[in-house]
Amino acid sequence: MPKPTYEQLERRVKELEKIAGDLIGKAMDYEQDDGFELSILYNISEALTTTRELDELLAIVCDEVRKALLAEGAGVLLYDETRGDLYWRQVRDARQILAAQSNDLRLPIEGSIAGWVFKNNQPARVNDTSRDPRYYPEMTKKSGFDIRKVLQVPLKTSNKTIGVLMVMNKIGGNFTRQDEALASSMAGTIALAIDNATVYKTLKKSKDDLEMIYRASMALATTMDLDHLLAVIIEELRTALNTQAAGLLLYDEHKGDLYWREVQDENGTISAQSADLRLPLDRSISGQVFQTGEPALLNDPAHNPNFFRPFEERSGFHIRNEIIVPLHTREKTIGVLVVINKREGNFTEEDVHILSSLAGVVALAVENATFFEELLSSYRDLENLNRVKSKILNHLSHELRTPLAIIRGTLATMWKRLRDMGLKDFDRSIERMNRHVQSLNRLEAQVESIMMTGYTWERRWITDFLQKALDLMEVQTEWTPQIRQATSVIHQWLEKTFPTRRDELERINVREFGVSVFEFVRTKAEEQKRFLNLDFNLEDGELLIPGHVLRAIMEGLIRNAVEATPDHGTVYVTGHTRGERYIFTVKDTGIGIPDKDKELIFEGFYPVQDTENYSSGRPYSFNAGGKGIDLLRIRMFSELYGFKLSFTSQRCPHLKNQDEGLPGNVELCVHCSTMEDCANNGGSEFTVDFPLADSKAMLRLKEEEAA
């Protein structure tokens, strides 16, 4: 853009002079009007009665002051009791220079005209700031707004001075005594407006704080889910105190430091890295609060010698101010509650009081949730003990039932043969033996009654019905030899399914053997119209193990993975050697196992999937709902053949509410936009750690078998 000529500049100056003259003329006319001052005061009073929001009110007031005194700018400075200086609560200027920078343009009490007015409670009218030693030139340097003339009057309430009204650069002349009188009369109204707005804000804040504490208390009474409870409380806390971040730090007795149990910040900066942002007790303000039990109010924490600077370096989150209060239970301090970076101004002692009040609710919530978790853990321990008791009783019942059945059958056979031989001298002996057998039968029935408590039909069908049938068939073979063959077949089936001894070991190449198993599984999955990616990758390696056992392991784990994975998911089957071990893994990208059930997964008859919401229940269908026999068999095999069995699992977080159902297809899941989403949300990985055929572990196993 070309520079204007001298003639063009001269013409523009004359135009500006004419505009300024017209404005001054109108202003002089207004000043001669007796109703002018009253109209200004009326406008301010009307704003006072119709506007409760302080910022909006002061914006109207500053505009009225500028109009009344024909000035370039006007603003309200309030005293900051914490920092001991004056800050702009509102400022308006024609070119909007000061308003954008007002947060950084604070004025000191000593060394500024505004500070002098505030301190001495007297107005100041300066029509040439360059000659007044009280002028604070840094404001002009920082803002670029040249302040040549100022009129400043104190803002006084009934009991103290709260700030200063400043008017800057009168257009077309100097500030006069009449201007000073008008500004002083307006200052009283402005101070009243600020005082009323402050009282209203304080009352509203007290109401909001009480509601916040009430909602937090209600959350405590309605849930024992600590994660949900803390999330609600921290969110309420951030809203009530209007902060950028808030969180809860708990003491880790094992590591001796503080860790984030719950934290929320507006950009997710801290929460995304919370696991790595632990705070030491001896080098952090939070640690000091935890150890002393005294709250800390810090409006400039960076200058505190205990400020833990690595927190900012690691998180990238800058802390301007914060409050930290301890969390006390009835017996000890368990952590601290923290709020960071108040959006407007600094934290106050009132904020400390509110946070301390809420800390009691939070500490109670954590303590109750801890008690609940310990109670739940104790309940699980009792359940485990109950399972052990049931197994013992099951064993006892079996040990009684089998010999009793044989004795009963033998006695019947003896009595029949003796009668056929015409020998009746043994009738009383046999009768006496039968009475004792009946007594043992009653004991067995009592054990059986105890056994029935809590047992499912599936378990009873497997463990009781078949065994009783076998016992009966074994006795009956003495009269009916044809039953002997059926008895032998069922005995073999039971021994194969629930082995109690080792079969003959075979030398097997895992990769070659696994190919046939994999093809069988793929065919079965295709028959059920499953659309899965089956990723198969086994290295060579030789094992000493019966073929039917290895097939049961491979097929059982792969089938469970297929049934746990929705369509368009992936099942990974891998195997590789590691030293003298062969590591076989089956990983699914499915729904995962709930944490509460992980301890039960190998205990027997635990269904890996939940209810059959979306499947026919046939093997290889999604969520087929098996009886858990595969995993029980594999665990029993591990005890016999010396391999190790383990698993990891992550439950899909979207299945917290089971009522949502399982769509069985990644493309139909409302929570997934890609296949990777489902894989990242949940899944399980089962690992079988075999000793290689020629390993030392396998040699020891063979020696034990030979012995």
User: What tens digit of pLDDT does each residue of 3-39 get?
Assistant: 666 566 556 655 555 555 555 555 544 444 444 555 5
Is residue 645 over pLDDT 80? yes
Least confident range from 107-116, 339-348, 437-446: namely 437-446
pLDDT tens for residues 564-597?
A: 888 888 899 999 999 899 999 999 888 788 776 6
pLDDT more than 70, % of the chain: 67
Q: What is the pLDDT of residue 229?
A: 72
Between 366 and 166, the more confident residue is 166
Provide the token pair at 370.
């801890």
Residues 6+ apart with CB under 8 A from 65: 71, 74, 165, 167, 183, 186
C-alpha–C-alpha distance, residues 245 and 342, integer Å: 9
Least confident range from 269-278, 485-494, 589-598: namely 485-494
Name the nearest CA neighbour of 312 among 272, 346, 280, 270: 270
Q: Does 208-370 match 33-202 at the fold level?
A: yes
Please name every residue paired with 684 in a beta bridge, in sequence order, or none if there are none.
649
- Output b/e per residue, 561-592; b: 16+ Cβ within 10 A: bbbbbbebbbbbbbbeeeeebbbbbbbbbbbb
Please report where in the chains the tokens 């505004």 appear, as a residue: 114
Between 398 and 186, the more confident residue is 186
Mean pLDDT of 237-252: 86
Q: How confident is the model at residue 441 (pLDDT cuts 50, 70, 90)?
A: low
CATH code of the domain made up of 208-370: 3.30.450.40
Mean pLDDT of 230-257: 84
Least confident range from 9-13, 102-106, 528-532: namely 9-13
Class of domain 507-706: alpha beta
Least confident range from 114-118, 192-196, 296-300, 472-476: namely 472-476
Asked if residue 620 lies in contact with residue 525, where contact means CB atoms within 8 angstroms, the answer is: yes
The secondary structure element, H or E, covering residue 100 is helix 98-101
Q: Backbone phi, then psi, for 321, in 5-degree steps?
A: -155, 160
Domain 33-202 has CATH 3.40.50.970: no
C-alpha–C-alpha distance, residues 575 and 561, integer Å: 16
C-alpha–C-alpha distance, residues 556 and 550, integer Å: 10
Mean pLDDT score of the chain, rounded to an integer? 75
Least confident range from 16-30, 190-204, 422-436: namely 16-30
Mean pLDDT of 253-266: 88
For the chain, the structural domain boundaries read 1-27, 33-202, 208-370, 377-489, 507-706
Between 623 and 170, the more confident residue is 170
Is residue 707 over pLDDT 60? no
Please report where in the chains the tokens 């951030």 appear, as a residue: 238
Q: What is the pLDDT of residue 397?
A: 59
Q: DSSP character for 570?
A: E
Q: What angle do CA 570, 572, 578 make, to 5 degrees?
A: 165
Is residue 409 over pLDDT 90? no
